Every structure is written in C-alpha cells, then in structure tokens.
C-alpha cells in the first residue's frame, strides 16, 4: 500500500511503513520553521522581576535606624491585632551591637504567631490585611525586604521555616517540627558607621511601645512615657477602599486619639513609631497619632498641611479641656498662622489667641489709631500674623478688635500754645510806664 504525502509543492510516493516517521519529521520541520520565523514568548506567573542591586541602591539612602525600627513596627502591629484569632506577641526584644569597624549586628525577636506564609518574607508589596485596618502602621509590605536588601546577610526564623539571604541568594529550609520556632526572629548584618549605629540605638529607645507589650533594647526595658494630655481629633488616614470595583489606598477622615508628650526634641509619631521631627514647626510637644498617617514609602515625609492641621486641632481640643499647649513665647512661631486656620471653635480660638497674644489689637491702616492703641498698652497684631478667615472669626466673635474700630473716632486733645507773657516796661527813675 502506498500513500502520497505532500511535501512542499510536490508529492512523494512512500510505503505505509515510513508514513508515520515522515509525519514526525514534517511536524518537527514546521516547529523549527516557526521558531525561526516567530519570537518565542515564555509565560511566567509574575509580571515583574526585582533587581536586588537596584533595590539596595534605592533603599540604601534610607537612614539605617529606620530599617531596625521597621521590624519593631511589624511586632507592634501584630500586638495591636489586625488578624482575628492570631497569636498576640507579649514581647519585642531588640539587640543592636557593633564591634569597632565591623558591621552592626541586629536581632529582633518576638513570641507571636510568626509568618503564616513564609513567601511573605521575600514577596514585595503583597496584599496584606494591614491595609484594611487604620489602627496598625503596616501597608507597604516592604519593611523586612528593605532590610534584607541593604544587609550583608540576613536570617529569618518563623514557625517551621528558616530563610537565609547572602550574596543575592535565598535559601529556604522547612523543618519537620511545625513548632520549630516560636514567633519570629530576624537577624541581619548591617553596614553602619559609628554615628549611624549610635543614632539607631537612640531611635530604638525613643520608640513609644503600646501599653501591655514588653519592649527591650539591648537588655534595657523601654518604659512607656507619661503623656501630658490626650485628645481625640478627626484626621485623614489611608485605608484600603473599593472604588468603582478597584481596591486602592484612599484617605478617609476618621476620629483618632492623639497623645501629647513633653520632649526636648519634638517628634511626630505614628502608633509609637517615630516619623519625623517637628523641630522646624517650633511646636514644643511630640504627637503620637493612633492611626495610619498619610506618608511616603520612606516613612519620613508628611505633607505640611497635615502637620499644621494636626497641631491646630490638638491645640483646639486641649484648650477646650483646659490644657494650654501654647503661651506668649509662641508669638510668631512657624506653626502659629497655619495651625490657627484650623481652629473653628470660638471658645478655643479665644483662649488660644488671648493666651499667645494678651492685650493685643489687630493692625489697621489708621496710623493714629495704631499709635494710640500702643500708647494705651496694647500690642499690635501685625498683618500676615493670621490668614483672612482667622481674622474674620476673631472680629466677628468679638475676640479681637482692630485699632481702627477701637480708636478710629478718637480725637486727640488739642494743645493750646502758650502766649508770650506781657512784659511791662517802665522808667527805672520815675516809674513812668512805657507801654
């Protein structure tokens, strides 16, 4: 039996016994032809790859202390409880040491539930339940990844997994015992100069731990400082929300507690974690916000209007509680003008204005009124001290007057010039009057 097989434009007569072989050859030829004429596209699960060197370059500029504090943040989040039924850690133990010119040794250990999925250790930006909860700090899911990127080497032990990183290589060991390791322990070798190391230790000690957790830094128990006062204010907080079928982090206005602490150098805190210094604002107190703060991925940049609103609302709420956070020394402070614009309550506005600027009147274009006001012992609030909306609230509610209102109709007393005395001239001999 013979069979004709098409090969190109011609036909070949072959025996039945070799038909199958020929078909295979033809199929292979077609495949080879397609490979030669078409691009081969491989399909992999992930759409992106991460360049470790690039990641290291990107996060290498982040202050070294932030990498250490990020690990503490993770433990605090777990303690605050963003996952229902999860094991809550009772302690966060931090060791940061350095021997001469050698790299620093960092170890952060907790006794919580550990990583449910060990791939979370090295998967950047994976979705996390922390994004749904405004009362925990986590959202980027990048903290330990940044640490790993800048470390010379790192080891993470959690549950029955040990994951190590060195020279750009990851090694994962799964132990048979499901309870091989309680909680999570992170160890890393970090390049730090002496100054960075000292700063890192100081910042770890400046963390404000949540009430109820045992927080230790280099064998020193870090107590929770006593707050001067606490208030509730409504501030924006980034929360995962569904908008038009798309999940995204959006700012939501939410009432939150803010703790006020006396400090030599005032800081803004997010759930006990230092974010940025408030020194440039000239506000005297540290503020600990008990919810997510809208900030950059580097966790050190916050919009100025957020800070000014926070200071304004904290001053307002504190004044209504009878606690004054400002005094006459705050005249002209960098926070005064902008923060005052957020104070809407009339009682608080009056208290704050009269505390910072007692016996004062608002400047007017009436020069004589300004002079008279000063002569009567009033200080003049110069133009630009407050914005127009604040000035309106002050005047509409009779909290402050302009000099023109108080002295605009004032007529200074007229000074009558003294007449020259009438000098009588007379003759010294006979007494005859000459005039």
Residue pLDDT tens, the chain, 435 long: 444 444 444 444 444 444 444 444 444 544 455 445 555 555 556 666 666 666 666 665 678 899 899 999 989 988 987 667 778 899 999 999 999 999 999 999 999 988 877 777 766 555 566 566 677 765 555 667 788 888 999 999 999 999 999 988 899 999 999 888 999 999 999 999 999 999 999 999 999 999 999 999 999 999 999 999 999 999 999 888 777 777 777 889 999 999 999 999 999 999 999 999 999 999 999 999 999 999 876 667 899 999 999 999 999 999 999 999 999 999 999 999 999 999 999 999 999 999 999 999 999 999 999 999 999 999 999 999 999 999 999 999 999 999 999 898 766 666 566 656 666 566 666 665 555
Helix (H, G, I), strand (E, B) or coil at 248: strand
Strand bridging mode 360-362 / 379-381: parallel
Please give the model's pTM, rounded to 2 decimal places.
0.80
Long-range contacts of 404-408 (CB under 8 A, 24+ apart): 404/364, 404/365, 404/366, 404/369, 405/364, 406/361, 406/369, 406/373, 407/366, 407/368, 407/369, 407/372, 407/373, 408/364, 408/366, 408/369
pLDDT of the residue at 60: 59
Identify the pLDDT of residue 426: 62
- At a CB cut-off of 8 Å and minimum separation 6, what does 359 contact? 377, 378, 379
pLDDT of residue 432: 58
Q: What share of the chain is helix, strand, coil (3-state, %, to 5)?
A: 30, 25, 40
Q: Return the pLDDT at 241.
A: 74
Residue 293: what pLDDT? 94
Number of C-beta neighbours around residue 180 at 10 A? 16
d(CA 250, CA 232): 21
pLDDT of residue 317: 98
> Rounded to whole angstroms, how far apart are CA atoms 226 and 204?
18
Cα angle vertex 110, ends 106, 114, to 5°?
Answer: 110
C-beta separation of 203 from 62 below 8 A: no
- Answer for the pair 241, 225: CB distance below 8 angstroms, yes or no: no
CATH of region 52-221, choose from 3.20.20.80, 3.30.70.270, 3.30.565.10, 3.20.20.70: 3.30.565.10
Task: Give the Cα separation of 97 and 206 in Å (integer).
Answer: 17
Token reading at 359: 């016996």
Q: Which residue, 384, 203, 371, 410, is CA-closest to 299?
A: 203
Q: In what order do the strands lie in the sheet with 246-262?
A: 229-243, 246-262, 285-289, 267-270, 273-277
pLDDT of residue 53: 66
Burial class (CB in 10 A: 0-12, 13-18, 19+), 232: exposed
378: nearest Cα among 343, 419, 398, 407: 407
* Helix boundaries (H) for 191-242: 194-206
Domain ranges for the chain = 2-37, 52-221, 229-358
């Amino acid at each position: 039996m013979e069979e004709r097989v098409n090969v190109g434009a011609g036909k070949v007569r072959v025996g039945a016994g070799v038909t199958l072989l020929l078909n295979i050859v033809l199929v292979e030829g077609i495949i080879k032809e397609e490979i030669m004429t078409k691009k081969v596209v491989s399909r992999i699960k992930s759409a992106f790859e991460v360049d470790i060197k690039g990641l290291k370059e990107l996060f290498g500029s982040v202050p070294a202390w932030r990498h250490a504090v990020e690990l503490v943040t993770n433990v605090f989040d777990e303690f605050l409880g963003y996952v229902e039924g999860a094991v809550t850690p009772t302690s966060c133990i931090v060791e940061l040491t350095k021997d001469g010119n050698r790299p620093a040794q960092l170890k952060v250990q907790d006794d919580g539930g550990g990583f449910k999925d060990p791939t979370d250790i090295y998967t950047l930006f994976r979705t996390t339940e922390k994004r749904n909860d405004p009362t925990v700090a986590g959202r980027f899911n990048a903290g330990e990844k940044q640490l790993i990127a800048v470390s010379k080497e790192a080891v993470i032990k959690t549950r029955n997994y040990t994951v190590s990183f060195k020279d750009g290589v990851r090694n994962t060991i799964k132990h048979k015992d499901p309870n091989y390791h309680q909680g999570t322990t992170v160890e890393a070798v970090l390049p730090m100069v002496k100054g960075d190391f000292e700063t890192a230790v100081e910042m770890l000690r400046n963390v404000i731990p949540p009430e109820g957790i045992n927080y230790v830094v280099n064998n020193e128990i870090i107590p929770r400082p006593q707050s001067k006062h606490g208030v509730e204010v409504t501030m924006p907080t980034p929360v995962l929300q569904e908008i038009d079928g798309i999940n995204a982090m959006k700012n939501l206005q939410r009432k939150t507690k803010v703790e006020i602490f006396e400090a030599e150098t005032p800081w803004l805190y997010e759930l006990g974690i230092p974010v940025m210094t408030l020194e440039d604002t000239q506000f005297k107190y540290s503020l600990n916000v008990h919810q997510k703060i809208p900030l950059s991925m580097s966790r050190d940049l916050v919009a100025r209007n957020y800070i000014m609103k926070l200071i304004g609302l904290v001053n307002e709420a504190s004044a209504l509680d009878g606690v004054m956070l400002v005094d006459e020394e705050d005249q002209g402070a960098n926070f005064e003008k902008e923060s005052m614009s957020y104070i809407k309550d009339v009682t608080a506005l009056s208290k704050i204005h009269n505390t910072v600027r007692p016996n004062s009147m608002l400047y007017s274009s009436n020069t004589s009124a300004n002079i008279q006001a000063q002569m009567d012992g009033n200080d003049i609030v110069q133009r630009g001290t407050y914005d127009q909306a604040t000035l309106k609230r002050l005047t509409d509610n009779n909290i402050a007057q302009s000099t023109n209102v108080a002295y605009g109709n004032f007529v200074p007393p007229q000074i009558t010039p003294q007449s020259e005395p009438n000098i009588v001239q007379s003759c010294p001999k006979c007494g005859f009057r000459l005039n």
